Amino acid sequence: MPVLKPISGHGSCVPVQRYLEKNGRALARDFFNFSEVPDADLMREPEFGKPFDWAAEMDAFRAECGNDDPWNGKRARTFKHFVLSPSPEDEVSLDELRELAHAWALRFFPEHHIAIIYHDDNENRIPHAHIVVNNTNVVTGRRMHTDNPLDLNRALQEMAAERGLRALSNERPEPSTGFQRLAANKGEPRAKARTLQETYRSRAERRAEAAGGYSWVADIRNRVGIAKGLARNEQEFRSILVMMGVGIEDNSPRARRQDWIFSLADASARRVSGERLGASFGKAALERRLLGARAEHLPDASSREFLRLARKAVELKDLDELDSLSNALEVCSKWRIMSLDAADSAIAAQRGRLRNGVPASQETRIRKDIEALEHARDFLKERKALPLHDVTRRDGRVSGKGGWAGEPSGSERSAPQREQPRERREGRQR
């Protein structure tokens, strides 16, 4: 999905022009509604014999219209700077990005000075657009006004989808059950989440971890992570939290977002809300996950072994073990892994993608996925927490019952008894 980041500018446009064009790093430039570029249909950088000082024209016109003056006692917003970044997975070319940036900017600001500067100075060299819009309408001389700022991003998502790019849906699905309606806080205005990061670690927490110290926030996160990986519904989630020594309660009804508060049973003053642990630990996210947890779940024997290991780690205060268990469960959930064979298959599939060649923007992510899969596979094999093989049950669902890591599988324990049926099967195939 494309990301749109708005930045309000106060004062002259000269500093932003200098920043965007310094050291010749601009890949391309597009200008609309300037005196030297009156035709918006040109959609290309004009071939001037000298550098185009677009900031000076913006500043001069704005001052002429009196739109540099404060408004209602507040500093004047002299321009808006939008950063339009396409999804790395879309591998958008510069020409495709320019067409999208033109269409979006002219849709909302058809009568304003617009300067679009393109860069690819990020880690993966992905082109992105800096769209600078003067605050003054060149036709009416009035200040810029947007009725609903949220429409800017909604329209961008729609335009991206029309072009076959990844985009966020602007449609909010109607909850189908009472539990879903509760999770969606139906009928109440939605406040913005604290963070979009699936797992969020504060600066203080990172400092404690770097120094090898104890972080009670990380301790709670790991225990909650294990509970959400093992539970099949909210009741099981709460029960596992109790076994793990974690308390759970609703936050204040006056809070801007409904959330759960987690605390350590033996230190109840150490409390943290779910969304402070990361977006995937908030109440709404956890309820959505628990609604579908039964469909893809670890074998019962694996769940019991995970819980046994987790409770032992809590008793021993082994934070490294809790962290490894939590990460391994998250990997199993993400890749729907129920056996060591399934983990090996997932690793082989990702390695195959690398051998077949992938864009540089995807290679780093795939290598991180492989590293996480290998670490989880080795950890679970050592702990004998997953069976060796998947076995398909009569109802068509997959259940891991094909022997446990470190133990002989069913076929190895009874090889003489199983040899004859195997030969009969081969005979029928011939």
Given a contact cutoff of 8 angstroms between Cβ atoms, the answer to whether 66 and 136 are in contact is no
Contacts 24+ apart (CB under 8 A), 298-302: 298/230, 298/332, 298/338, 298/386, 298/400, 299/338, 299/387, 299/399, 299/400, 299/401, 301/387, 301/400, 301/401, 301/404, 302/338, 302/385, 302/386, 302/387, 302/400
pTM above 0.85, yes or no: no
Beta-strand pair 391-392/3-9? unpaired
Q: What does each of the 430 residues of the chain score in pLDDT, given as a tens digit?
A: 788 999 999 999 999 999 999 888 888 888 888 886 644 444 445 444 357 889 999 999 999 988 888 877 778 889 999 999 988 888 888 888 999 999 999 888 988 999 999 998 877 788 999 999 999 988 888 888 877 778 898 889 888 888 888 776 555 445 555 555 555 554 444 566 666 788 888 877 887 778 888 889 999 999 999 999 999 889 999 999 999 999 999 988 877 788 999 999 988 888 899 998 998 999 999 998 888 665 456 888 899 999 999 999 999 989 999 999 999 999 998 888 999 999 999 999 999 989 988 888 788 889 999 999 999 999 999 999 999 987 544 444 444 545 544 443 343 333 334 444 444 444 444 4
Beta-strand pair 3-9/128-137? unpaired
Dist. CA 342–CA 211, nearest whole Å: 36
- Measured CA to CA in angstroms, residue 106 lies from 103, 174, 380 at distances of 5, 33, 55
Tokens of 190: 């939605």
Dist. CA 136–CA 138, nearest whole Å: 6
